[in-house]
Amino acid sequence: MLELEGKRVTVMGLGRFGGGVGVTRFLCAYGADVLLTDLQPADKLTDSLDQLADLIDAGSVTLRLGEHNVSDFTNTDLVVANPAVPKPWDNRFLRAATAAGVPITTEIRLLCERLPNRAHVIGVTGTAGKSTTSAMIAHILKADGRTVHFGGNIGGSLLPELDNITPEDWIVLELSSAQLYWLGRGVGYPEAPAWSPGVAVITNIAPNHLDWHADMAHYAESKIRILEPLSDADTAIVGTGVTLHITNHERTRRMRLFDHTMVGECRLRLPGAHNRVNAAVAIQAAAAAGIDAGCAHASLSTFEGLPHRLQLVEVDGSFRAFNDSKCTTPEACALAVRAFDETGEVGRAHIHLICGGYDKKIDLAPMIEAASGCAGVYTIGATGPEIARRINLAHGHAKHCESLDNAVEQAMHAINASGGSAVLLLSPGCASWDQFTNYEERGERFARLVRAYCEGGSKSIVT
């Protein structure tokens, strides 16, 4: 574990939404002198800087904004890298730090290496379902009366809570592929240890974030690092197909596939067979924490889901609108559409789907078949023209609308003209970064647009 007291630390990346605030405050609390650098200028980081005003005024934090300076990465004792930086092994500033012998770490490694009881950490990763599965596990544990801290890739940094986490508490971490890459042995500095949770869960692995990882092999290997190291006392639960990406026999010997027979037993408020799969995985992860399956089933009957994940945002007679903005992969989009084919649901022929967004250079094919069966598809963003073209070639009904505002307008017009039961589903299958800061902004915009139409029949909303 790297010492912090009296060290000069460069934090790479503050972020417009405070991504670097938690780690900066943590470092200062542990006696480090922090230089905070971000490519964005100060006027783009106002909210985040306001949260650090006391430390900046006290001289504990020095700022270099609007640029990075190589000397800040070489003339320091430690660099804390933002995991959003793609292909960090090729980043010239991080390479300069490595060449100068400066160790590099991340917020998640600082946290994981200081947690008091690794056996009480449940880590969840996967291409699809990791957020909902993580939230379900935390919900089950809390319903059982446990003290639970939920964070990682979702919900913000747990570093500010570190002093209040006891060995008896339970930690649920959603872990992205980028975070797991930085938790590998020898990553950041030669002596960096590998870290894994006491209960490791991989929901599934499919192509994603290839713009960050460069290729599928590196993406899969980063995911699988959640199993390294894995002792006989640990538990590993993986979904079908995950083993195809594992070549290390020792890893395979110590893990188990989750029990698919439990899927049919799950009764949830959330639509979709995929959510029942998430629930089955969560129940088995909770079992590793000593919670009876029956109790876990009962507690999940009150689980209402997460914002932006098949979230019901409007009901108006036989019309419903769902915000699934967190859906950033074609596979997840297909799952969302198929959720409405199940018994008691309207069927995809009554779905008006909005999809498309930032181009992550991944195969869009997994969403085409499902989307082509929808009543209408309204595409947006950089991938929109290609998605619309391929859906129409598959005899579907798609039009490229460019913006989310126009897509909602076109979809609502079609829904009003058709009458009968209808679902308006935002399930982009792509990231948001070409038109929105993040998926939350995209989902919130969608919800406001829909509510404005339902309340007044107008596309004019407050931005």
For residue 172, list its beta bridge partners: 122, 150
Structure tokens at 402: 């460019």
CATH ID of 115-300, from 3.90.79.10, 3.30.160.20, 3.40.1190.10, 3.30.230.70? 3.40.1190.10
- Gap between the Cα atoms of 256 and 153, Å rounded: 24
Neighbours of 135 (CB within 10 A): 23
Q: Which of 127-131, 351-355, 459-463 is predicted least confidently?
A: 459-463
| pLDDT at position 462 | 40
The model's confidence at residue 18, banded by pLDDT at 50, 70 and 90, is low
Phi, psi of 97 (to 5 degrees): -60, -45
Q: Which of 255-269, 386-400, 446-460 is predicted least confidently?
A: 255-269
Asked if omega into 229 is within 30° of 0 (cis), the reply is yes
| pLDDT at position 463 | 40
Residue in the block written with tokens 């006392």 = 233
Residue in the block written with tokens 């009876």 = 292
| pLDDT (mean) for 226-237 | 85
- Gap between the Cα atoms of 152 and 436, Å rounded: 22
Percentage above 90 pLDDT, the chain: 70
Residue 30 has pLDDT above 70, yes or no: yes
Q: By C-alpha distance, which of 208, 195, 197, 183 is closest to 129? A: 208
Q: Are 260 and 237 in contact (CB under 8 A)?
A: no
- Gap between the Cα atoms of 383 and 211, Å rounded: 15
- Gap between the Cα atoms of 271 and 404, Å rounded: 24
Q: Are 53 and 137 in contact (CB under 8 A)?
A: no
Largest separation between any pair of C-alpha atoms in the chain: 68
| pLDDT at position 255 | 58
| pLDDT at position 460 | 42
Complete DSSP assignment for 181-241: HTTSTTSSSTTPPP---SEEEE----S--HHHHSSHHHHHHHHHGGGSS--TT-EEEE-TT
| pLDDT (mean) for 51-64 | 96
- Gap between the Cα atoms of 455 and 228, Å rounded: 52
Residue 344 has pLDDT above 80, yes or no: no
Ordered by start, the domain boundaries in the chain are 8-105, 115-300, 311-456
Q: What is the pLDDT of residues 169-198, one digit of tens each?
A: 999 999 999 999 999 999 999 999 999 999
Residue 459 has pLDDT above 60, yes or no: no
| pLDDT (mean) for 238-257 | 66
Structure tokens at 453: 């139409």
- Gap between the Cα atoms of 65 and 20, Å rounded: 13
The model's confidence at residue 16, banded by pLDDT at 50, 70 and 90, is low
Q: By C-alpha distance, which of 7, 14, 8, 5 is closest to 63? A: 14
Whole-model pTM: value is 0.78
Helical packing angle, 384-393 and 365-372, nearest 10°: 60
| pLDDT at position 202 | 92
- Gap between the Cα atoms of 289 and 121, Å rounded: 9
Neighbours of 37 (CB within 10 A): 23
Q: Which residue has the higher pLDDT, 14 or 115?
A: 115
- Gap between the Cα atoms of 318 and 432, Å rounded: 29
- Gap between the Cα atoms of 35 and 52, Å rounded: 12
Complete DSSP assignment for 368-410: HHHHHTSSEEEEESTTHHHHHHHHHHTT--EEEEESHHHHHHH
| pLDDT at position 17 | 52
- Gap between the Cα atoms of 122 and 175, Å rounded: 10
- Gap between the Cα atoms of 207 and 216, Å rounded: 6
Q: What is the pLDDT of residues 251-267, one digit of tens each?
A: 555 556 566 667 667 77
Percentage above 70 pLDDT, the chain: 94
Helix (H) or strand (E) segment spanning residue 424: strand 422-426
The model's confidence at residue 458, banded by pLDDT at 50, 70 and 90, is very low
Helix (H) or strand (E) segment spanning residue 293: helix 293-300
| pLDDT at position 247 | 66
Residue 273 has pLDDT above 70, yes or no: yes
CATH ID of 8-105, from 3.40.50.720, 3.40.190.10, 3.40.50.300, 3.40.720.10? 3.40.50.720
- Gap between the Cα atoms of 11 and 305, Å rounded: 34
Reported in sequence order, the residue ranges of 13-77 that DSSP labels E, i.e. its strands, are 33-38, 61-65
Q: By C-alpha distance, which of 263, 272, 286, 323 is closest to 449? A: 323
> Mean pLDDT over all residues of the chain?
90
Neighbours of 331 (CB within 10 A): 23
Neighbours of 439 (CB within 10 A): 23
Residue 377 has pLDDT above 80, yes or no: yes
- Gap between the Cα atoms of 187 and 193, Å rounded: 8
Q: Which of 15-29, 112-126, 262-276 has the highest mean pLDDT?
A: 112-126
| pLDDT (mean) for 393-397 | 97
Give the CATH architecture of domain 311-456. Answer: Alpha-Beta Complex (3.90)
Q: What is the pLDDT of residues 122-170, one digit of tens each?
A: 999 998 889 999 999 999 999 999 999 999 988 678 998 999 999 999 9
Structure tokens at 444: 């919130």
Q: By C-alpha distance, which of 273, 294, 293 is closest to 284? A: 293
Q: Which of 19-33, 267-281, 312-326, 375-389 is predicted least confidently?
A: 267-281
Q: Are 173 and 151 in contact (CB under 8 A)?
A: yes
Please give the C-alpha separations between residue 124 and each of 41, 146, 201, 304, 451, in angstroms, as whole numbers: 35, 18, 5, 19, 34
